[in-house]
């Protein structure tokens, strides 16, 4: 009966469902995009290795620089295998008169490749001797290689950064954006060469490799004591992070964004619920005589209440189902257009659909109750 009632007035039924459809589709689309982006970020963080420790050197309130020699001493700390300093700046890179602007110039040592879990596409990474003897060599990211050399092989060719000529000895595999920024738009130099090349030779970050994931916390504790001694107890001069902390932060941020976006989209469901209530009230008025006849033939208040409540639930339920499919379709379309990742979460779909049913019950209850309370005699006289 509820289905026949909706079929008789198709356009009105569709417009009544529209708010619910938009609400459910919005929730699924927004949450899928957010969860997909979070999954990408999480995968990038995990790709760095579960035994990675990162130290940000802020040097707030401390003027004495953190030297490369002190970074090397960090490898003497128990449970720490390797250490790679990072001294970074942004410069233009020039090849044969062609310039690529605002490239991240990284000065580091031979351990950087392994600690950051990067791979060489062609050529090689610089060695300990290259760092020791300040060789004018460079490893470039895949984007830099494409922009400056196109399809040509960049190995052995020379680029210019400021007034320094650097020979390209390696090209990194494409990796995209990671927690430390894009690894494709970089030029990596021996840190000893970078000191001469750039005015900013300060070490602002250090990547460390613990012996194993199980020793990360112990290594962090000993490292904290070392840095605390170096910076005279000034804990604002440095920050220590590991993968677990970064993943927890990403997860918290993602959950907050998902809840916020889902809440915004859920407003559409409330608007759709108001539309359901409005149409059901109109339906009660239009079918007053029908209600009178049913009551005269023995229908109880409960029968009438259930009849109209079912109609309201059918509207919201069908709207919810259509909304799920439209939401999936929009998310897949945006994935192809924006070249981003999406992640469908069945519990979120179930929650969105359940909420649409609750909207139908909540906003259908008042019209159904009003229909159930009609006086049979007055309803039969209604024109």
Following DSSP, what letter does each residue of 100-131 receive, concatenated?
A: EEEEEEEEE-TTHHHHTT--EEEE----HHHH
Token pair of 4, please? 């026949």
Contact 258, 27 (CB under 8 A): no
Burial state string for 172-204 with b = 16 or more CB within 10 A and e = fewer than 16:
beebeebbbeebbbbbbbbbbbbbebbeebebb
Instruction: With 0.85 as the threshold, say if the pTM is over it.
Output: no
* Cα 268 from Cα 21, distance rounded (Å): 9
Contact 288, 379 (CB under 8 A): yes
Following DSSP, what letter does each residue of 27-94 receive, concatenated?
A: HHHHHHHHHHHHHHHHHHHHHT-TTEEEEEE--TT--S---HHHHHHGGGSTTEEEEEEEEEEEEEEE
Task: Write out the chain's pLDDT in tens, 383 residues.
Answer: 767 777 877 887 888 888 888 888 888 888 888 888 777 777 766 666 668 888 988 876 666 778 888 888 888 888 898 999 998 888 899 999 899 998 999 999 999 998 888 899 999 999 999 999 999 999 999 999 999 999 899 999 999 998 889 999 999 998 766 555 577 899 999 999 988 776 656 788 899 988 887 888 888 888 988 888 888 888 788 888 887 766 677 777 777 877 777 777 677 777 777 887 887 777 777 777 877 888 888 888 888 888 888 888 888 888 889 999 999 999 999 888 887 788 888 888 888 888 888 888 888 888 888 888 877 777 676 65
Write phi, then psi, for 154 (nearest 5 degrees).
Answer: -80, -15
Give SS3 for 204: coil
**Length of the chain, in residues:** 383
* Cα 267 from Cα 280, distance rounded (Å): 20
Token pair of 73, please? 């001493």
State the pLDDT at residue 173.
92
Distant-in-sequence, close-in-space partners of 230: CB < 8 Å, separation ≥ 6: 66, 70
* Cα 8 from Cα 194, distance rounded (Å): 77
Per-residue pLDDT of 141-191, as tens digits, reads: 999 999 999 989 999 999 999 888 999 999 999 876 655 557 789 999 999
State the pLDDT at residue 94.
94
State the pLDDT at residue 57.
85
- Nearest alpha carbon to residue 173 among 214, 141, 213: 141
State the pLDDT at residue 76.
87
Sort residue 93 into left (φ over 0), alpha (ψ -120 to 50) or beta.
beta
């Amino acid at each position: 009966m509820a289905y026949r009632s909706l079929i008789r007035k198709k356009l009105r039924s569709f417009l009544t469902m529209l708010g619910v459809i938009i609400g459910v589709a919005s929730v699924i689309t927004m949450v899928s995009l957010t969860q997909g982006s979070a999954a990408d970020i999480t995968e990038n963080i995990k790709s760095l290795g579960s035994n990675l420790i990162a130290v940000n050197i802020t040097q707030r309130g401390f003027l004495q620089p953190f030297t490369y020699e002190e970074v090397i001493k960090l490898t003497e700390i128990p449970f720490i295998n390797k250490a790679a300093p990072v001294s970074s700046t942004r410069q233009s890179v020039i090849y044969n008169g062609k310039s690529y602007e605002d490239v991240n110039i990284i000065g580091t040592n031979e351990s950087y490749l392994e600690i950051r879990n990067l791979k060489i596409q062609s050529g090689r990474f610089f060695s300990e001797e290259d760092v020791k003897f300040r060789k004018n060599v460079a490893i470039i990211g895949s984007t830099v290689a494409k922009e400056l050399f196109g399809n040509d092989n960049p190995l052995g060719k020379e680029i210019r950064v400021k007034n320094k000529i650097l020979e390209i000895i390696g090209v990194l595999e494409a990796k995209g954006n990671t927690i430390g920024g894009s690894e494709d738009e970089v030029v990596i130099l021996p840190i000893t060469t970078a000191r001469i090349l750039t005015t900013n030779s300060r070490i602002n970050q250090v990547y460390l490799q613990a012996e194993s994931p199980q020793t990360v916390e112990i290594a962090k504790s000993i490292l904290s004591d070392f840095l605390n001694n170096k910076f005279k107890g000034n804990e604002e001069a440095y920050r220590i992070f590991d993968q677990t902390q970064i993943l927890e932060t990403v997860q918290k941020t993602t959950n907050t964004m998902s809840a916020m976006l889902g809440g915004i989209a859920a407003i559409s469901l409330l608007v759709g619920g108001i539309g359901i209530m409005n149409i059901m009230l109109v339906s009660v008025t239009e079918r007053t005589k029908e209600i009178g006849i049913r009551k005269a033939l023995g229908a109880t208040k409960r029968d009438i209440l259930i009849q109209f409540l079912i109609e309201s639930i059918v509207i919201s339920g069908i709207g919810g189902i259509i909304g799920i499919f439209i939401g999936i379709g929009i998310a897949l379309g945006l994935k192809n257009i924006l070249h981003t990742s999406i992640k469908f979460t069945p519990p979120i779909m179930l929650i969105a659909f359940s909420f649409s049913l609750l909207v139908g019950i909540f906003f259908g209850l008042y019209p159904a109750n009003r229909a159930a309370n009609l006086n049979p005699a007055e309803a039969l006289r209604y024109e």
